[in-house]
Amino acid sequence: MFRLPILFIVTGIVSFALYHILSLLVLGTWMLEPMRSPDGWFRVHLLVLDWATMIAMGAVYQLMDVVLQRRIHSVMLGYVQYGTFTLGTMLLLAGFLVSNAALLGIGAALSLLGILLFVYNVGLTMWKAQQWNAVTVSTACALLYLTATAIIGLIMGLNYAFPLWPDMHDRLLAAHIWMGMLGWFGFLITGFSYKMLPMFYLAHGHSARLQTIVIVLLNAGVVVGAEAFLLGGGGGAQAAASAIVLLAFIAYIGVVEEIRKHKHKGSPGRGIWWTVQSTRAFVAFAAALLAAWLIAPEWFRNQPTTLLLGMAYLWGWVSMTILGYLSKIVPFLWWTHKYGPRAGQPNVPVMSAMIPERVVGYGLAAISTGVALTLFGLFAKETTAVAAGGTLLSLASLLYIGLVASVFTR
């Protein structure tokens, strides 16, 4: 299957480029402005929906073939879903941009429909296959939280247009972000990694026990957190949920190390190397932040802690992981499409010829430096550091995604 996944991935790449071009216009300093503004919502949803979720959906359509060894339930429905979701998110973004409630409402409803079609198509495929393992269970959890996130998003939109529960808005927002970030992205990335990392490391004989622990802990953390936010639980409940999620990620690092211990390939590729490093870095950062909060909670009173943690997670882990995996997924899709029919003939290039590994490494190094500098700037409230970090992040990202896109010319 080539066309359906590539449609999502190309759209994601274009959205990623647009996000960074717009960020460059203000040198990344938009991050210093209040996030809860039409501009902030526009940028965040462009990144989260039209970049990260779009790429994730394409990857799911591609990987379901591999994991279940069966085709997706309906390829045609996949195309319909793509159209619905893309149109919906475009209207949603336009609604944010011009602060138009009608556009927001229609866009949110169409986006939700697109998500429901996706969940139905993938969910039915998994149900028919009846193969339940850490990968498929994680994917099922991801689909559940994606649905919940989208429904809450729609409720928030309705609440904004017709203030039915004004007191609930902040709680809904917190639960929406929590389930989307950790439930949807957390489960999808960890789940797919259980399949993809052993492939790229050529790992065999590794134990899958810790994968179950990750699933249990991450579910517990997402549920406890969502409940705490929706029912108005205080900082203690939220900290407990954060601690459970942190334990889940520590267990996930254990999964990665177990895979690496059983590898039979010296290097998995620079992109994959960086996904592993970004996981370690995020967990170290989150652990340090949580420890500091436990020791001196008063110090966090005037700090943008949520923004810092959110940025570290979204940029330092989710985006870095997606970008790392893209350095494998895009060459694989293109090579299979263009050179697969020539396999077995002389002079057929190998996949590594589609993208220069060293440049992948440099690109991700520059992006991670930009992320680190931006986080420092936000923490220290240093506009210069945020501008420098934001500029580096966006420039490096544009060059990197250009490199990935150039695979289609090979």
Angle of CA points 346, 347, 349, to nearest 5°:
130
Is residue 130 left, alpha or beta, with left meaning phi > 0 and alpha meaning psi from -120 to 50? left
Instruction: Write the DSSP symbol of residue 340.
Output: G
Chain positions 261 to 280 lying near another protein, rule: CB under 8 A, are: 263-267
**Among residues 74, 336, 369, 406, which is the contact residue for another protein, using CB under 8 A?**
336
If one asks whether residue 295 binds another protein (CB under 8 A), the answer comes out as: no
Can residue 348 be called a binding residue for another protein (CB under 8 A)? Answer: yes
Closest CB 355 distance from another protein, rounded Å? 12
Question: Phi and psi for 145 in degrees, rounded to 5?
Answer: -70, -30
DSSP string, 294-347: HH-GGGGTTS-HHHHHHHHHIIIIIIHHHHHHHHHHHHHHHHHHHTGGGTTSTT
| Touching another protein, residues 69-98 (CB under 8 A) | 69
- For the CB of residue 78, give the shortest distance to another protein in the complex, in Å: 17
H, E, C per residue of 160-180: HHCCCCHHHHHHHHHHHHHHH
Helix (H, G, I), strand (E, B) or coil at 208: coil
Q: Among 339, 376, 379, 408, which residue interacts with another protein (rule: CB under 8 A)?
A: 339
Is 350 among the residues that bind another protein (CB under 8 A)? yes
What is the DSSP secondary structure assignment for residue 32, as one 8-state letter?
G
Task: For residue 130, state whether it binds another protein (rule: CB under 8 A).
Answer: no
| Stretch near another protein under the rule CB under 8 A, chosen from 170-178, 200-208, 231-239, 293-301 | 200-208
Placement of tokens 């985006």 in the chain: 319
Q: How many helices (H) and strands (E) does the chain have?
A: 15, 0
Q: Does 352 bind another protein (CB under 8 A)?
A: yes
By beta-carbon proximity to another protein, the closer residue of 228 and 255 is 255
Q: How far apart are CA 239 and CA 309, in angstroms?
A: 13
* CB-based contact 138:187 (threshold 8 Å): yes
**Residue 3 interacting with another protein (CB under 8 A):** no
Of the two residues 3 and 204, which places its CB atom closer to another protein in the complex?
Answer: 204
Under the binding rule (CB under 8 A), the answer on residue 183 touching another protein is no
Closest to another protein by CB, 220 vs 351, is 351
Residue closer to another protein (CB basis): 202 or 284: 202
Position among 351, 395, 399, 405 found at the interface with another protein (CB under 8 A): 351
Residues that bind another protein (CB under 8 A): 62, 65-69, 198-200, 202, 204-205, 263-267, 332, 335-336, 339-346, 348, 350-352
